[in-house]
Every structure is written in C-alpha cells, then in structure tokens.
Amino acid sequence: MRKTRICTRCESAFFRGKIGFMAKTARNLGELKLVAEGFLKKLSKGAAADKAVLVGLSGDLGSGKTAFTKCVATILGVDDTVTSPTFVLEKRYNIPVRGGRQRFARLIHIDAYRLNKGEEMNALDWEATLGDKQNLIFLEWPEQVSSALPKNMINLNFEYVDDGVRSISGDYIE
C-alpha cells in the first residue's frame, strides 16, 4: 500500500514515495557520504514538488549531524565551505545548476540547539522557508523547536557507536 504523508498544517502531501525505515552504519566519513548519497537520491525523486523538504537530524553532540549535512552539500555541488550553524542559527547555500532537472535551488542548514521554543523559528522567516519548494532544509536539534515543525517531516537519528563509527536511522523514501 502506498503511504502518502499529509502535512496537517498546510494540507498538502509532502511525499509521493512510500516511507520506509533505514538503519545504516557509517564506519568512516566516506561511508557517511555513501549513506547521504542513497538518502538524497530517493529524497529528490520522492519528495512532493510543491513544498520545501524538511529533514530533522536528531542525536547527541558530535554524533554526525553536521558531518552528514556537509556530505549532502558536497554531493549537491555546493561550492561554499559548510560549517556548523550553531552560532549563527541558519546558513543558506545555493545549489548550482548542473544540467537536467533539479529539484532544489537552496540547501538550508539550521541548528536549533540554542533555541527553546518553536516561536523562535519565526525570526528565520520559517513559514516562508517551509513554503518555498526550492528549499531543502536540514534541521539539527528539531526537538528544541518541535511546535514549529510540520507533523510530517523526515526524521533521521544519529548515534555515536565507536570512534569513527556512527549509526544513521530513520525515515527513508522508497
């Protein structure tokens, strides 16, 4: 059965694809990039075309959320150096056009670690950011601002397994 997630706030489907569960282990940054590649490929195909795509990245300090977002940026061909937005809250990167159809024009990387409630997202023009279909949003520490999040978003969990080893689990568009 095809499962389509509906955003209850905007009443539109976020995904065309079926949502599955992934559980991966990355034993080094190269493997992390492979996980990011697989994840992105499906995401670009399965995400609905009329809204931003929001991916929440949960997990302890140092579990790999920013490292994963850096992999995503590299894969998308972002030229700028991606650094943690912990202090600036949000960073926006243009995704260069590389021929063919391209689902996203901007990668938006947010770190909500220092926020305490959803309303604080308003400072980031959050509703407009969510409504712009050209945005691919990666949000670290989504639980800090849970009231500002659409019910149906993609959630990934990062865990420290060992030195250099991390597990990545969560939603996956099949």
Ligand X SMILES: Nc1ncnc2c1ncn2[C@@H]1O[C@H](COP(=O)(O)OP(=O)(O)OP(=O)(O)O)[C@@H](O)[C@H]1O
- To the nearest 10°, the Cα dihedral for 44, 47, 53, 55? -80
DSSP secondary structure of 79-134: -SPP---TTTSEEEEEPPP-SS--S-SEEEEEE-TT--SGGGGGGGTHHHHHH-TT
The answer to whether residue 140 forms part of the interface with ligand X (CB under 6 A) is: yes
Q: Which is nearer to Mg ion, 25 or 58 (CB)?
A: 58
CB under 8 Å to 134, separation ≥6 — which residues? 52, 104, 105, 106
Residues numbered 59 to 88 that lie near ligand X (CB under 6 A) are 59, 61-67, 84, 86
144 near ligand X, judged by CB under 6 A? no
Out of 25, 44, 58, 84, name the contact with Mg ion by CB under 5 A: 84
Q: Of 66 and 152, which has the nearer Cβ to Mg ion?
A: 66
Task: Residue 26: name its binding partner from Mg ion, ligand X, none (Cβ under 5 to 8 Å by kind).
Answer: ligand X
What is the C-alpha separation between 4 and 25, in angstroms, rounded?
27
24 to 53: interface string for ligand X, x by CB under 6 A: --x-xx--x---------------------
Residues near Mg ion, by CB under 5 A: 65-66, 84, 140
